[in-house]
Structure 1
């Protein structure tokens, strides 16, 4: 396989509000000689699947704006978590034919590690097994970043608090992270009453199917009223911030716990993510735990038991998975736009190549 057509999704402009396909990114095709492209001690990956995640909007910014995640580099391909297979390797840890999960570029064929501009702290590549009855893309969702984030934060903060709690509220709950929290909380703490919200009836139906006791559409319901009728809330898993978090704070129990895992409502406009009821945190003696995947010794320790705890639950169907699949790297722009507007249902993935 010498010369091939290599599709690439290039980042060309910083959005100031919402991300727009064709404006902030551009899909291009170039010729690539897979036999001679320099690897510089790395590997050549044939990309099979790429992940479109809400947090990527945070990365679409001027690099001078500080943030926990590295900015996407103008003129370079978008990068994020991908699944692929090794075609060539100069790294003794990998061989041709290995399946890998990597933080790599949105290209049909990608050299890892890539350009120096992209070699930031999210350097990551690991071998993965090929599951017998599950798609490889499971390692981008339930068994990847969303699932591992949910698992580790729940083990550290949620499960201990759940021992003395009655009610859990999960916002933005219909994605792969949220549904994991709902299902795993029900497995580890079956006594909990789980309230969950999402932005469409289809997503509300998903929440009911994964075990939420109360599921509602925050775009149609009075969030404060629903929480008042079903609370008070002992544990709040926050994926959104903004007005929903304000309503949650109003309905938190004394000595409640908040696991702050996202603020996606303010990703395109920070004003939308503003929380005005901050004073209730001290008035109700609420503990707030901010959480980022993989940060801290406790998170690393929790991740060490993920495979043993979760893979059997996934295999048995007790932890479920839904995917919103886009076909072809050309569709990555639409996937990124829709995941930022909530139009996707389930984990957003783009099928780039077949094995």
Structure 2
């Protein structure tokens, strides 16, 4: 018997025709399992698609199809031209409307303020992760606003930021003049955005803490042993280690700022003063609910979707490039 032959292949020699039949049948017993094994990789390749198919069908039926209907509806008319194809007329009306122009300027302001909205929960999560005194209490306090309704939050801050409210009383106590937080066109949008950031950063804080759970603590310990200061540890260890988490928080925070501020705007300013706090979502509600112009509202929704898609892709590209450089 040749050296290295598997023991299972050793069979006693059989003489005569019966032995020849046994030897001829032996290869077929080996090839049988091989043919069967070839079926399993194909099934394994199809399994992910089968598992994902229900979710894809739900998204296509409840998201993509209504989105396509909305885009198509934006090319139809309102009022007397209801249902008629009007081409790009709604978009011409949209970009000629000063209120929509103000809403788009405020959208640009939100993009500029996005790093602040992401940095606040990121820094707070860092302090909690480093176990500053009272970190458990801080974690509960920081998350608490996320469970409140925007209507309740808006009503509370209407009282706090009133011209004769506690905020101005505190400023007067330190020798600063009162600020018309919600009545000054140059200040109102910052007040509303600040309240929104305060009310929503609790969710981003939880995401950051989940990201810290995957961070290699030995790198932080090594940086501390080498004498690195906290800013250097954050910049060279924590930020690169949380690159994926930061990408997720940036995109979700931007989407929230563009699509989840209606409640605060409605309660705190109602789009005023002088339309200075209009955002695209509030403009869409105004055209649909107050002016009965659903086709124009659909055009505004389409523009908002395109802006969100472009900003999100640009942010992801920038973050990925910075991650590769690090």
With the shorter chain as reference, the TM-score category is under 0.3
| TM-score scaled by length of structure 2 | 0.23
Counting strand residues as a fraction of each chain, which structure ranks higher? 1
Q: Of the two, which has the highest radius of gyration?
A: 2
Counting helix residues as a fraction of each chain, which structure ranks higher? 2
| TM-score scaled by length of structure 1 | 0.22
Structure with more contact order per residue of length (Cα contacts < 8 Å, sep ≥ 6):
2
